[in-house]
Structure 1
């Protein structure tokens, strides 16, 4: 079977599975590159001719071009998914990616936000205008619900209820986020200002958070809102982005007593392994505080008082 034909069939399979346009774009780009490499560098155009050594050579080729270990792992997962599908369809007996060794990704400890910084960033905005109220609500919702940037930007207005938010997550997987009383207080004020802002206007999209064009926010716009919050709050971190609030939510929720299984569901992760990467910013100081709170002897003494 020609590799190009099998890739086309797999493309239709992925579209039918409901992968997002962004995911499909990334997949197509990667498959185009590996197909080109196998044809020009290894002289292979048949699926059955692909060997583990050919894919090892592709990994080395990517390394030589300066691709970082994390990017190589991401790329390799896409290739693995394709060959695993080929096995499921009985086009191959075994995946040639099965024995391909991948470079280890160095563990990076992110310097996450602390409670004081998040508090200051939320209060860096007020209710003096629609944009101010919107930005305040965005920062508060990201910190309190741990939503992805895309989930915030495309959140339909109808999906925000009294106590819950219906999230259309990654990979077309729905989940529920919960609105705390503290967040609800901010959202009530925001919705009142939003109602006045959209009155007698024709909306391009009825998203919960609107741009000046009356549609969902662009990725850059959301990033700029977060950076503006950091600037106003004088938060000095190497990285200030919407994703850092997701890390803050994960770590804070866990330290407040949530188990990792429930946390994984709240974040919309497909596996606990992904959730665990969000906890790398757990510092020794925070760990020490938690150990003190959960100390067996300390709790024995409390019960005896």
Structure 2
């Protein structure tokens, strides 16, 4: 193991001790191992202290030129994943992806410089921030949402469960992991609230649901208790906790049957968009979503389309409300 590989392993242990989300840790590890591979192969560098700002700029240039899926940490994985069969193989790596790589590398060198004191100078200090491409988040129309909710066969246990989860995600803006972890003691139907724990920072907050969702939950709980004995609100048919990947797959399959693609985070995005379009404020939305600040929420959702801005204006036109 080289010195660079050792420091990456140490960094990943540090991330584990901070209870970072598995998805975040996976992103860090993949980014850093690809970076280490580049440094060793292209510059013969395997010690963190030898890496300079110029090397990192060369790596950013390499990312812009190499094309998607042309590099892997282990070449053997290409014989399993067959990246050359993908329709986007060798297409340019997006600016958003490159910005994420650079951010991850910056976190790593900040750790080496400020936490471990392994390096005297941080080579990332002079690297310019890459502005990621901003994509407007997809907004599902009311008809599309109704069509999605009706696409589940609610005569079957798992589809009835998935239909209820889908509606709850849209109504509350919860993350899917938060939703699948709900226990009976977290749910307060009379006050139409749910106590959730953010898996990212372990902080607790309340989310709220509508009266119609409250009725949906009552019916689901009565149905669930007839067939399954489980500590979870949304268990598998065997009573165990439903895995995120399994629900994501089921939602994808259901939405594809009706002609479009829906993933859990899209439901959270749509709650946020419609909340704002219907006159909701940034502060309460930030608390509902469990963001660390209002600024984080605004960065995520300041991407209204011209049509959405037009509708919001018509609803809140000062002249139209002059005689109210």
TM interval, short-chain normalised:
0.7 to 0.9
Task: Tell me the residue number matched to 1:97.
Answer: 124
Q: How does 1:222-233 map to 2 (within 5 A)?
A: 222-227=247-252, 229-230=254-255
Greater displacement, 149-158 / 9-18: 149-158
Task: Tell me the residue number matched to 1:215.
Answer: 240
Please report how far the alpha carbon of residue 106 of structure 1 lies from its aligned counterpart in structure 2 after TM superposition: 2.9
| The one of 129, 134, 137 aligned to 2:164 | 137
Q: Distance in 2 between matches of 1:3 and 1:166?
A: 42
Q: Distance in 2 between matches of 1:225 and 1:11?
A: 32
Residues 251 and 278 of structure 1 are in contact (CA less than 8 Å); yes or no, is this contact kept in structure 2? no
Task: Tell me the residue number matched to 2:194.
Answer: 165
So what's the TM-score if we normalise by structure 2?
Answer: 0.79
- Which ranges of structure 2 fall in alignment gaps of 5 or more residues? 68-92
| The one of 104, 123, 126 aligned to 1:78 | 104
SS in 2 for 1:172: coil
Q: Distance in 2 between matches of 1:228 and 1:42?
A: 46
| The one of 88, 91, 96 aligned to 2:114 | 88
Q: How does 1:111-190 map to 2 (within 5 A)?
A: 111-125=138-152, 127-162=154-189, 163-174=192-203, 175-190=205-220
Task: Tell me the residue number matched to 1:258.
Answer: 280
Q: Distance in 1 between matches of 2:12 and 2:252?
A: 37
Alignment length (residue pairs):
294
Q: Distance in 1 between matches of 2:182 and 2:64?
A: 38
Task: Tell me the residue number matched to 1:25.
Answer: 26
Residues 139 and 273 of structure 2 are in contact (CA less than 8 Å); yes or no, is this contact kept in structure 1? no
Do structure 1's residue 60 and structure 2's residue 61 form an aligned pair? yes
Residues 122 and 229 of structure 1 are in contact (CA less than 8 Å); yes or no, is this contact kept in structure 2? no
Q: Distance in 1 between matches of 2:138 and 2:12?
A: 39
Using a 3 Å threshold, how does the CA distance of structure 1 residues 26 and 106 change in structure 2: closer, same or farther? closer
Using a 3 Å threshold, how does the CA distance of structure 1 residues 210 and 121 change in structure 2: closer, same or farther? same
Q: Distance in 2 between matches of 1:114 and 1:259?
A: 21
Q: How does 1:276-287 map to 2 (within 5 A)?
A: 276=298, 278-279=300-301, 282-287=304-309
Q: Distance in 1 between matches of 2:225 and 2:321?
A: 50
Greater RCO, 1 or 2 (C-alpha within 8 Å, sep 6+) = 1
Using a 3 Å threshold, how does the CA distance of structure 1 residues 281 and 182 change in structure 2: closer, same or farther? farther
SS in 2 for 1:108: coil
Q: Distance in 1 between matches of 2:250 and 2:4?
A: 45
Q: CA offsets, 1:45-76, max 9 Å, x none?
A: 33322111111122222222223222222222
- Which ranges of structure 1 fall in alignment gaps of 5 or more residues? none
Q: Distance in 1 between matches of 2:14 and 2:208?
A: 34
Q: Distance in 2 between matches of 1:51 and 1:4?
A: 17
Please report how far the alpha carbon of residue 271 of structure 1 lies from its aligned counterpart in structure 2 after TM superposition: 4.9
Residues 153 and 209 of structure 1 are in contact (CA less than 8 Å); yes or no, is this contact kept in structure 2? yes
SS in 2 for 1:177: strand
Please report how far the alpha carbon of residue 273 of structure 1 lies from its aligned counterpart in structure 2 after TM superposition: 5.5
SS in 1 for 2:206: strand
Q: Distance in 1 between matches of 2:131 and 2:275?
A: 29
Residues 152 and 163 of structure 2 are in contact (CA less than 8 Å); yes or no, is this contact kept in structure 1? yes
Task: Tell me the residue number matched to 2:35.
Answer: 34
